[in-house]
Structure formats: structure tokens, C-alpha cells
Structure 1
């Protein structure tokens, strides 16, 4: 275990901004500091553009991320901007790259304003100068190497289509053989979102797993689906995502492309590796019920973690 004690720590400053301002006030103050119309700073795109113009003038966020992330050229512009914004926040205030931004919330706005303030006060862009902003205030230790994942279990479920060049044809073949799913009004799907191990493990996943371990060592609870999934990875689990949609095949494609805003946090960080299940449902209520039930069932399997918006129990309880 290593200390972060020499790093610059913005956590209390961010908490003060959060505690002493409404969300509208944070938005207003960011507009004043960046010279942008606060009423325009409503979503990822204008906030990304405003912070880049303020902190890295002359840099196009779309080009910035494309030059630094493999396969980024294939992403949607929204995903590119969101990733570029995370990269900038990581370099300016230490916000970890795994802390994704979908619909902007008040904590995000506190981070945006802190980044602008830090820049104005002369703090440099650095990948290792700042304390991770998501560690509990007071925690100053971290695991230099995250726990080993060398004993990753085999996939618990069958594979309908791997997420590679065979995906479209494999899914089309499966749907032709299962017309009851293809023609259903609603459907539930299960994605295997287990990250690669070893040298292929993404940096953002390693960062998440280190911070989760540090949080546990500090004695704090693990909150939120992303950090719970990180805790599951540290226990050598496979990670699954269970969802539902009126057109599940189309929704799965959106997950893979990183275009589905409401699940950006989970499947943009934990990129789908395979589509494992598709189940037909007659109504929206039926689909919601089955989604939660299927996630709960997967969470009873050994070395498995499943996230769903319809979970009835804490997915970490059985690990």
C-alpha cells in the first residue's frame, strides 16, 4: 500500500462548493468563470466545450480524445466529448477516469467549477499530481497494484453473439432461429461486461479497482453500481449487465456503440464482450419484472456480479 500524502487534494474544496451552492449557482458560476452563457451549460456537450476552451484553448475535444484513445474514431460524438471531459477533469483535479458523466448532476457541476478554479489559480495539468476526488475525505492510502484477477471464471451463461466482427451476423442468425424474441413487444437482455485481464485491462478499470480497495481499507462503504462492480472484479468475478427495452437488439447495439445515455456509466466503462441472453416479454411491466429477477438469479451464481436497475437485493451481498 502506498500513500497519496504528497498529492494536491481538492476533495474538501469540491465538497465546500457542493455544500455552499445550489446546482443552479454552480452552473451560473461556471458560466461567469468561462465566459459562457450559463443557461447553455445544460449537458455534456456545452460543458465539455466550455472547459476545453477555458483550460485547453485551441484543442478540439473530439480530436483530443481520438488521438489518445484506441477505437475512439468509431465512437459517437457524445461519447467522445464525455470521455474528453473526463480526461480533462482527471488531469486538472484528479477526478478518476472511471467516474463517468451521463446526465449532469450537482456533484459533476462542483467538479467542473473546481477544474476552472484550479486552472485559474495556476494548477498544472498532471496525471499524478492530484488525490483521486472519489476517495472518501481523509483516506490517503491506495493499492499501487490492484488485487489480482488471474483466476477469472469461465462465462456462466451461453453466448448468443460475441462483440467482435461476427456480432451482427451471429445476432441476425439467432433472431431468425428465435422469431418469438424477434417479434416480441419487449425484451430482456444480458450482456457479459467483464473487462480483459492482465496487460489488456483498461487503465480506468485498474484505477477503479485500486480506489475501491482503498475505500474498503479506509472502512467506508462501497456505493454505486460502478464501484460495486469494481469490488466484484477484485473478488475475481465476472460482471454482467441486465436490461430491458422495446427493441432489445437495437438497445444492445447502442450499448456497444456507447450511445445509450441512461446506461453510459455502466456499459461505457464496462464495455460489453458478449450478448448472452435475450428473452421475449409482452408488456413493459413484464420486462421490468423479468429484468430484476434475472439479475437476482445471476447474482446467486458463484463468482458472478450482475447489475440491473431493477435489483431487489444488493449485488455484493453474496460475494
Structure 2
């Protein structure tokens, strides 16, 4: 058992923190910007809460974090009352936020100067993966720090991998989002075509999902896409945030991402329809408009 802190109790962080307590068996303290959410978590799961990241992190062996973006991450780490101000030597900060590789490297250096380990560890698997404790976690950082953190991370994960030095976890998550963007657009076009052709979408998907076209998106989203149901987790607003990070990194490293850039603009059109909180499979809504 370790003394663990979790910062950020959104749709992902809330169940992840619970798995750290119940599956991992750790002593968990939580912090959330809206204190009522932390109070609710403690009422449901036990543990304790703190009113600032600094107070939450004091004395912790591991501090986990899952917040919105680079600015939110800086606020809870190096901002006023940030967690790094009170973390003890030898403690490890595990950042599950999907953020830029730049901020990961920045915070790695700040933490290292304080003899604190830092792992960038964005996750994939969505709300369902978080609730079921089967997320995929892509990590960047030092091998010895990763080895210590991995058994704790496994409390909410089915796969935990070290992808390289600091920032490599975030870069791997960018690859993940690039692949998802292209897959969802292709699936949207396929389902839309099947509907326009008068085919039974369920029957079509049942057949082609067993062949080379098969994917997680097809198995889990094709049916609901055909029905125009888009209430299944990861929102368009967050996908656009992630794709902005991807495209910014591509401008730096010279990668050419024409499909990703196009899909990002399609998501912008979904937002203009009022679909900010629809899930990412809502790309089909653009095609089904009459």
C-alpha cells in the first residue's frame, strides 16, 4: 500500500482514483477544483480530500493527475499551491492528462531538480475504460521511475508501456488520436453509404467487422452512429483539443497529416451544429444532413 494523491476528478479521474483505492489498496487523498466533487468522492469511496494540490500532495508517495490541458496542468503542479511545492524527495508524479510533449518535458525538469520523479502517462480507453479499470497507459520518463510507478498505475489499466524518455507518452497518445480521427471518419462514410444504399447496417457491420475493415470503433460505435446516438463518452470539444496538440507538434516535427487536419475541421463543423458535447462518433451527423 502506498500513500497516493489524485488531482482532478472528471469523468476519467473519478473512477481512476476509485480503482487506486479499491483495486490497488492504496491510501488515497483527492483534490478537485470544485470541492463538491471531492466531497462526493470521499463520501462514496472513503479516503480523504484536500482543498489545494499542495495540501493533497504533501507526504504522498505518488501523485496522479488528470486535468484538462497544459494550462490546467501547470496550475496544479507549479502554480500557486501547486503539488510540486510540497512533494517529498523520491515521490513520483504521474500525469494522466492528455497534454503537449513540451509541457511534459518542462515539468519533468522541474520535478527532477527537486528529486521528484515525473512520468507523462496519458490514457486511452475512454470513460468506459476508466470505469472498468482497463485503460491503456502510454508513458514517457526514466526507466527506474517507471518501474516503481507501473504497479500502481496498473490499478486502473490493462496495458502500461514505457514508450521512451519524457514526452514520449504524450507523443504516443498523439499517434493514437491521429489513428482514431481517420478511423471514425472512414467509419462514418461507410455507415452513411450503407444507409443510403438501403443496406441493413447491423448486418453489414456484423460481416465486415470480422475482416480487414474491423476495428474497435466499428464494433462499438457503428450501430449507435447509424441511429444518430452520440452520448458515449469522449466529447468533440476534447477531441479538438487533442487534435490541436497533434497538429501543433506536426508543425514542429515536419510530419504531414492531411487526413487529421481535414477531420479536425469536420469536428469544427460538428461544433457549429451544437455538438460540442457529442462523442467523437458524431462525424456522421455531417454526412446524414439532408
Scaled by the length of structure 2, the TM-score of the pair is 0.27
**Which has the bigger relative contact order, CA under 8 A and spacing at least 6?**
1
Scaled by the length of structure 1, the TM-score of the pair is 0.25
